[in-house]
Amino acid sequence: MESKTLSFIWLILILNLFCAVGLAANPVVTHKYTADPAAMVYDGMVYLYTGHDEAPKNLHTYRMNEWLCFSSGDMVNWTEHPVPLSVKDFSWAKKDAWAAQVIHRNGKFYWYVTVEHKTIPGKSIGVAVSDSPTGPFKDARGSALITNDMTAAVKISWDDLDPTVLIDDDGQAYLFWGNRQCYYAKLKEDMINLDGPIHAVDLTRFEEAPWLHKHGGWYYLSYASGFPEKTAYAMSKSVTGPWEYKGILNEVAGNSNTNHQSIIEYKGKNYFIYHNGSIPRDGGSYRRSVCIDYLYYNPDGTIKRIIMTSEGVKPAK
Task: Output the smallest distance, CB 62 to ligand FUB, in A.
Answer: 5
Which one of 209, 212, 252, 253 is in contact with ligand FUB (CB under 6 A)? 209
**What is the DSSP pairing of strand 181-187 with strand 173-179?**
antiparallel
Q: Which of 280, 274, 233 is nearest to 255 (CA)?
A: 280
Nearer to ligand FUB (CB atom), residue 84 or residue 163 = 163
**Interface with ligand FUB includes 252 (CB under 6 A)?**
no
Residues 59 and 284: beta-carbon distance below 8 Å = no
Q: How many residues bind ligand FUB (CB under 6 A)?
A: 13
Q: Establish if 161 lies at the interface with ligand FUB (CB under 6 A).
A: yes
Q: Considering the rule CB under 6 A, would residue 146 count as an interface residue with ligand FUB?
A: no
Q: Which is closer to ligand FUB, CB of 225 or CB of 258?
A: 258
How many other C-beta atoms are found inside a 10 Å radius of the C-beta of residue 61?
8
**Stretch (H or E) spanning 262:** strand 262-266
C-alpha closest to that of 285 among 86, 53, 4, 90: 53
What type of residue sits at position 31? H
Min CB(18)–ligand FUB separation in Å: 35
In the set 36, 89, 160, 293, which binds ligand FUB (CB under 6 A)? 36
Cα 8 to Cα 28: distance, rounded to the nearest angstrom: 32
Residue in 89, 139, 160, 162 binding ligand FUB, rule: CB under 6 A? 162
Q: Which of 33, 49, 62, 271 binds ligand FUB (CB under 6 A)?
A: 62
Q: Does 114 engage in binding with ligand FUB (CB under 6 A)? A: yes
List CB contacts of 21: < 8 A, sequence separation 6 or more.
76, 77
Q: Which residues bind ligand FUB (CB under 6 A)?
A: 35-36, 51, 62, 98-99, 114, 161-162, 208-209, 258, 260
